Structure 1
Amino acid sequence: MMTPVRVLIADDNPIVRMGLVALLDNAPGVELCGEAADGREALALAVEKRPDVTLLDVRMPGTDGLSVIGDLEPLTRIVMLTHSDEPDVISRALAAGATSYLLHGSFDADELVRAVTDAAEGRMRLSPAAAAVLAGGLRGEEPVPLSATPKDLGSADPEQRWSELSREHRLSRRELEVCRELVTGLSNRDIARNLFIEPKTVKNHINSVFAKLGVTSRAEALAVLLGTAEEASEHTPARTPSRLAT
């Protein structure tokens, strides 16, 4: 038998928590291990229970969800489960280490279970609004799948496209490796595991990539990395040579 995915629910609304419990309580392969009413309680329970996945609301009284993602991320995979579809909130949550971002009303019971089991294995799931934010929806464009590679965006040779990106933005070899993992939707922890480096090192590389791309969020970085050359230039402000130095 497969080991069940242990899930912690963190939401200040008891009705929402009851609904999530009802959806997941009898789901095969899922085991509920606790409920929290705010971010502080979620963190304490995560330390105690070590859930595989935490369903985390954004806005909660006291300590909100966004405030504890950084502390939760080393302990559990995080699925943001919220009513907030604000682009800045979505970007901040994913940049801080959330694995997935789902909006209430955009999934049924089966989809929620799949999101939980996918998150436990490090696979990202996004509600359409979140995917749009990360893949061009900020400018009203048709979203591009997060699993897309430069080949999917019109280049005959994906390796050539990656080489062009590396030269254009003066990315180091390791930064380029991190970028290639980043566009698949992986969290910092999973990128670190794939590249055999520490999560803190991944975060440092991502910060360096942000500076070289001229962006300030993961959403903007994805727009550059997944965009055409013309789209990338629209997202990338003018740079000075000192900013591009490795």
Structure 2
Amino acid sequence: MTAPLRVLIADDNPIVRMGLVALLDNAPGLELCGEAADGREALALALERRPDVTLLDVRMPGADGLSVIGDLVPITRILMLTHSDEPDVISRALAAGATGYLLHGSFDPDELVRAVSDAADGQMRLSPAAAAVLAGGLREHEPIPMPADPDESATADPDRRWTELCLEHRLSPRELEVCRELVTGRSNRDIARQLFIEPKTVKNHINSVFAKLGVTSRAEALAVLLGTAEEASVQTSS
């Protein structure tokens, strides 16, 4: 039998924690391994119990969620579960390494269970508001001048930012399509349905994209695709 996914809850609201505990206790394949009321407690429990996925709130007293993501990422997958829908908060969380971002009220219990499972597999799950932030950030990214090479004109795209990414990282047309779907927050299964291909094929394309972008996770890939990788690196080093 496959071992259940171990889940840690980090939220300062006891009522929210109570609801999540009730859900996890009844969800097949999931196991609650701890509750935390702030970021420091979440980090301590994660180090002790090594959860597969941590459901992390943003605003908590003491150390908030954003302040501990960097320390949690080497230990556990991070699925943000919060009321905070500010674009800057969403961008910072994903750039810091969160595997997904869900807003309370935007999912039902079954969707949350699937999101936890996807997060454990490294698949990005986003609420519509979070997906809009990512897609909007890519659309609004300042275009970079294209090389005047007629041989490269075949890869031209109405969105010049996508074209620049395609040329810079030598993405194939199909890989570019997969990247477009990645920034909307779709899972592998959803991307497969959208592109009329098999989920295994999507996974192969994503692995190829990761190799070409020089990343190992969806969060890192999104940082590159959205042009925030350098910014995240500077913030980490400082």
TM-score when normalising by structure 2: 0.65
* Deviations, residues 18-74 of structure 1 (Å, cap 9, x unaligned): 010011111001011011110011111111111110000000000000001111111
Give me the whole-angstrom Cα distance separating, in 1, the residues matched to 2:34 and 2:95. Answer: 26
Aligned residue in 2 for 1:114: 114
Q: In the alignment, residue 111 of structure 1 is paired with which amino acid?
A: E
Aligned residue in 1 for 2:127: 127
Tell me, yes or no, if the aligned pair for 1:132 and 1:138 is still in contact at 8 Å: no
Any stretches of 5+ residues in structure 2 without a counterpart? Answer: 140-153, 186-205, 233-238
2:155 matches 1:160: yes
Tell me, yes or no, if the aligned pair for 1:166 and 1:172 is still in contact at 8 Å: no
Give me the whole-angstrom Cα distance separating, in 2, the residues matched to 1:191 and 1:51. Answer: 24
- Superposition pairs of residues 38-187 of structure 1, within 5 angstroms: 38-136=38-136, 160-161=155-156, 168=164, 172-173=168-169, 184-185=182-183
* Deviations, residues 182-215 of structure 1 (Å, cap 9, x unaligned): 65259xxx97995396769x96xx5798389xx9
Match 1:210 to one of 190, 210, 227: 227
SS in 1 for 2:54: strand
TM superposition shift of 1:127: 1.0
Give me the whole-angstrom Cα distance separating, in 1, the residues matched to 2:131 and 2:215. Answer: 27
TM superposition shift of 1:133: 1.5
RMSD: 3.9
Tell me, yes or no, if the aligned pair for 1:171 and 1:209 is still in contact at 8 Å: no
Aligned residue in 2 for 1:195: 211
Give me the whole-angstrom Cα distance separating, in 2, the residues matched to 1:46 and 1:134. Answer: 28
* Deviations, residues 152-199 of structure 1 (Å, cap 9, x unaligned): xxxxxxx8258x75874797548x69x96865259xxx9799539676
TM superposition shift of 1:105: 1.1
SS in 1 for 2:3: coil
Q: In the alignment, residue 195 of structure 1 is paired with which amino acid?
A: A
TM superposition shift of 1:107: 1.2
2:36 matches 1:13: no
Count the aligned residue pairs. 189
Give me the whole-angstrom Cα distance separating, in 2, the residues matched to 1:102 and 1:30. Answer: 18
TM superposition shift of 1:136: 2.6
* Deviations, residues 70-124 of structure 1 (Å, cap 9, x unaligned): 1111111111000111111111111111111111111111111011001011111
Give me the whole-angstrom Cα distance separating, in 2, the residues matched to 1:182 and 1:49. Answer: 34
In structure 2, the CA distance between the partners of 1:208 and 1:107, relative to structure 1 (3 Å rule), is closer
Q: In the alignment, residue 227 of structure 2 is paired with which amino acid?
A: F
In structure 2, the CA distance between the partners of 1:115 and 1:61, relative to structure 1 (3 Å rule), is same
How high is the sequence identity, in percent, across the aligned residues? 68
Any stretches of 5+ residues in structure 1 without a counterpart? Answer: 140-158, 218-246
Give me the whole-angstrom Cα distance separating, in 2, the residues matched to 1:128 and 1:55. Answer: 18
